[in-house]
Amino acid sequence: MATPPKKSAPRRGLRRTLGIGGLFSIGYADIGAGIYLALGLVTLHAGYATPLAIGVAAIAYVLTGLTYAELSSTYPTAGGSATFAQAAFGDTISFLAGWMLCLDYVVTAAIFAIPAIAYLSFFAPDLKQPYMLGTGAIILLLGLLALNVIGIKESVNFTLALSLLDIASEVALIVLGLVLVIIPGGLLFTWPSKFNLGLAPTWGAFVQGITLAMVSYLGIEALAQAAEETHIAGRTIPRATMLTLATVVILYLLISTVAVNVIDPGILSTKWKDDPLSGVASSLPGAGALIAGWIALLGSSISIIGANAGIIGSSRTLYALSKYRLLPGKFGAIHRKFRTPYIAILSFGLGSILLVALSSFNFLGGSVDPLVLLGSLYNVGALIAYVQAHASLIVTRNIDKPRFRPFKVPLSLRFKKGSNVIELPVLPLLGLVATGAIWVAVIVTHDLGRNLGAAWVVMGISIYVYFRRKNHLPLLGRAKTEDQ
């Protein structure tokens, strides 16, 4: 039976060099960038109730984070939800989880590489030209690919520095909003009177806002992808996960509260929809060019680390899928010198570059905006991964009881069935229901995401069936791995 290897992995595996800071930076990089995409869209539907919508989505996020903290420390190998699903359900479900994650990561790298350059147009306006923007984004992705091939340690040091810069910048924006606008005007006391749930916004609009708010929190999977490269994983992963949860939730709640109090949500969701934090900063009295320039650096930095997190996530997912013989073994090849999965990094990294080229150089003829397609695909795969992670925790608690779990999600119900004791973890069950409901809402309300996501699944299943048949491996069973 192919189970993820324990701490004593083969020598030719990935290097375990990541501490709490490095692991935190990987998680924050993918999650922290979400607010730059989602805030304007959430206010479009939730209006002044945007902080509440983000708060409700945060509940699902925290439940998911707890599940990942347990599973990543219990199965500390690259692959995230693909590894968890392999332990709980076997190869087929594991492949589907990993394949959908690959889609999300390729989109993530592409969709953040473009604004990383666009924000810099504040200092060099010519960068806003389509060909300059596309060329700059491709050069950025090539640089990130090289950085990740050289080694995860070098990449994470880079990401940690940019993450700290982003956190400091967001804190500064929050403080300025409180000191210059909210506290002097007593707005915290009058803000609740500006919305009436059920009327403005309507319940339907508020639910739509919650769905879009969940986009802000996508990315906890990226932290799990680096589990195999984490030093003392059983202790480091839960601590880094808790630090990421606390940081992101607090920042998002405060930023959204400041946003709807310093600028009208109607203006924020239209004029500033694509760069909402720039709209917030520009609305501060006396902000001027200093704040605008600061936000430009902020937007560029977080977009860079978001793109980098996409490259890290896709490469580690492909590495895990090849290790479990769900994809050709070449994807799991480790560079002799740098000890990194270089083929996995380069293959799907080039896919992100292709998406940028299609977006910037009009290869599709202009009838369809590729960025619209990317946006509709952005969170479809990740929510599927979250649902599978919650289900995997519930199942492995019962089929893999002897395994040591350095961290366990609290609060479980136990039922005796004959000589067996069935354990039902309550919080993962709630997380399963919450993320499943949000995924259904996304599928119902995003036609492009539904259709293209289905096409991606069909393509993946075709590749999986061909590879397994060619290598005389069972389609539904478990294939033996080299670790057995």
CATH of the domain at 312: 1.20.1740.10
pLDDT at residue 141 tops 90: yes
The pLDDT assigned to 153 comes to: 61
Indicate the number of domains in the chain: 1
Residue 118 lies in a domain: yes
What are the tens digits of pLDDT across the range 297-344?
888 888 887 888 788 777 777 877 887 788 887 777 787 787 778 888
Residue 15 lies in a domain: no
The pLDDT assigned to 138 comes to: 93
The pLDDT assigned to 483 comes to: 52
Residue 3 lies in a domain: no
Residue 56 belongs to what domain range?
20-470
What are the tens digits of pLDDT across the range 230-263?
777 778 888 888 898 899 999 999 999 999 998 8
The pLDDT assigned to 445 comes to: 73
Can you name the residues that pair with 424 across neighbouring β-strands?
Answer: 413
Residue 482 lies in a domain: no
pLDDT band at 223 (very low <50, low <70, confident <90, very high): confident
Contact in structure between 211 and 54 (CB atoms under 8 Å) = no
Residue 139 lies in a domain: yes
Average pLDDT rounded to a whole number, residues 269-286: 80
Average pLDDT rounded to a whole number, residues 168-195: 83
Residue 291 lies in a domain: yes
CA-derived radius of gyration, the chain: 22
Burial of 199 (0-12, 13-18, 19+ CB in 10 A): exposed
pLDDT at residue 373 tops 70: no
Higher pLDDT, 16 or 197: 197
pLDDT at residue 34 tops 70: yes
Residue 178 lies in a domain: yes
| DSSP string across 44-92 | HHHGGGHHHHHHHHHHHHHHHHHHHHHHHHHS-STTTHHHHHHHHH-HH
